[in-house]
Structure 1
Amino acid sequence: MSTINTLGPHTPRIALIGECMIELQQRADGSLQQSFGGDTLNAAVYLARELGEGGAVDYVTALGDDSFSDAMCQGWADENIGLGMVQRLPGRLPGLYCIQTDAAGERRFLYWRNEAAVRDCFTTPAAAPILAALPDYDILYFSGITLAVLGAQGREKLLATLIEARQRDARIVFDNNYRPRLWASVEDARVAYRSVLPYVDLALLTVDDEQALFGFADCAAVFAAYEQVGTPEVVLKRGAEACLIRCGGESFEVPAQQVERVVDTTAAGDSFSAAYLASRLKGGSPAEAAEAGHRLASRVIQVPGALIPK
């Protein structure tokens, strides 16, 4: 499979698949600030900002018919994210989560999402034309959280879509984002991840998540496992440390950008992934893409919440 930045001269069409939730940010005085967030949605927003007119970004999800869902769609439209792949399910609601941060900016999440509309994203009658349209995109982007919230039926339909998209020369991008609470067991998660990994062209991985899910001893073991699967491009995100990249048979590292004060690490990895992908789509090398990822993430972690102002 060709690399991410060999799509040709046309403007790429990118579909990001996943969940956006109502976000509550708890402040030091105990008050709550309400916004919206979710890993693939955060990536979609930052990707749309980074690409500008150089790409068309659509979000694929299911929402309710409530005022929060209305506000989400309006916000996405304001960010130039296409809404044509968003289902609105009557009587349903989006999920909700609360972010609590400690003095060092590290996060603790509290979730209310078991009845979220996205869990039926690929199983409703209205999902059929969406699933049929997805293989025609140039890039399909999803995460480990996407795998979890879609459920077993949804994952089967996603897998079939990835296979067909690959046959049409689409590129598949995967951010591992493993959240144990979303899975019945670590074994279930491993089965789901292993089913999709053979079709991934760019793996954007958090080392801690890989170790928690698969028990890898170190970064070399992660690279070895993905080389065996056949993933052409692998990026290991390591927070404030340099990221490690393996692409085209070469391995190298790109230092992170240091900041004086970390306010909130929410969406640090999502923003890195978005800027990395945007740079690759614009013809940047993996090293240049990693520099772009670090640059955006360093800005994001200095502002509360998942999405920083434009």
Structure 2
Amino acid sequence: MKRLIIFGECMVELRTQHGDTMAKSFAGDTYNTAVYFKRCLPVSSISYLTAIGADFLSDELILTMGEHEINTDLVFRSTERNLGLYMIRNDNQGERTFAYWRAQSAATQTINLMPDDNISADWFYFSGISIAILDNAQRENLFSLIKKLKTQGCKIAFDPNYRTRLWEDEDIAQHWTTRAYQESDLAFPGADDHLMLFRHTCADDIFAYLEDKNITEVVMKNGAIGVHILAQQEQCIVPVEHVSAVVDTTAAGDAFNAGFMAARLSGKPAVESASFGAKVAATVITYPGAIIPSGIFSSHITPLK
């Protein structure tokens, strides 16, 4: 059984249904990946590393994680802070607009709340958002933890998932994103993220930037163009699935990452894993909300073994 630790923040999601009626659920970029990874590869062991509050919403989240079969052994409690929250609105094409309340969330203190760094895993996954919500001291401690995990043989996976408003400034975002890439065995750069953060305008720009980072496998998401894979100095493009009726693009990239990693950890080759990840993403965006019902998901996606 492969053990994966995923680090980040899960928030309360409020999604407009109609008029003034809203649906409540829980979501967040790395949390979404954790949920879909477990659905894709049920035999795996997933622990979500985060901090939550001591309030009733945090209690509900713990129960929800249990329902998704995500281990809560690395979920720490803050008596002073609560869960972050966001509201989402989708247009007719499924594109989303967010409003966030997360600056003082418990997850921003996750590394401070860890009693020690004696954890182990086969893989550790995090994102640019995971880094951005921390202060500089915690960022340094996070990278110390990652280095310690690597000495134990743990592989590191990273998605830059750049969100301008979460960073102090662009230079700081570039610095920490670059450091994350330098520690990564598997990276999921996005064309939009790199355009905003590094002014990279094409796949060649991104691969040139990553060339000296010693990343074993680069899986670049490039929208409708497809998925560019670079491994062992060989590059290929895997087409994405066409979706005629997009309902909600929330968690598309998170779901792709989950599907790709689940397939790779189950022994599938990179190209087949990218196709599987694309199918997972295509399923998720045809239903509302970041986390779609498990019954709907399983009717489209056959779990891996």
TM-score w.r.t. structure 1 length? 0.93
What corresponds to 2:28 in structure 1?
A: 38
- Aligned residue for 1:108, secondary structure, equals strand
Deviation, 1:28, is 4.3
1:122 aligned onto 2:111: yes
Deviation, 1:240, is 2.8
State the aligned residue count: 294
| C-alpha separation in 1, matches of 2:187 and 2:237 | 16
| C-alpha separation in 1, matches of 2:34 and 2:90 | 24
What corresponds to 1:79 in structure 2?
A: 68
Within the candidate set 73, 82, 86, 1:93 is matched to 82
What corresponds to 2:96 in structure 1?
A: 107
| C-alpha separation in 2, matches of 1:264 and 1:139 | 29
- List gaps (5 residues or longer) in structure 1: 1-10
Residues 85-234 of structure 1 mapped to structure 2, 5 A cutoff: 85-124=74-113, 127-129=114-116, 131-133=117-119, 136-234=120-218
- Does the CA-based 8 Å contact 2:133-2:166 persist in structure 1? yes
Letter in 2 for 1:21: M
Within the candidate set 25, 49, 54, 2:39 is matched to 49
Q: What are the Cα deviations for residues 89-110 of structure 1, in whole angstroms up to 9, with x where unaligned?
A: 1132010001111111111111
- Aligned residue for 1:93, secondary structure, equals coil
| Percent identity of paired positions between Structure 1 and Structure 2 | 37
- Aligned residue for 1:240, secondary structure, equals helix
- Aligned residue for 1:123, secondary structure, equals helix
Deviation, 1:199, is 0.9
- Does the CA-based 8 Å contact 2:52-2:106 persist in structure 1? yes
Structure 1 runs of 4+ aligned residues shifted over 3 Å read none
- List gaps (5 residues or longer) in structure 2: 295-305
Bigger mean CA offset, 159-168 vs 268-277: 159-168
- Does the CA-based 8 Å contact 2:158-2:180 persist in structure 1? no
| C-alpha separation in 1, matches of 2:287 and 2:222 | 20
Within the candidate set 261, 265, 269, 1:277 is matched to 261
Q: What are the Cα deviations for residues 246-290 of structure 1, in whole angstroms up to 9, with x where unaligned?
A: 012110011111111000000000000000000000011110110
Deviation, 1:239, is 2.5
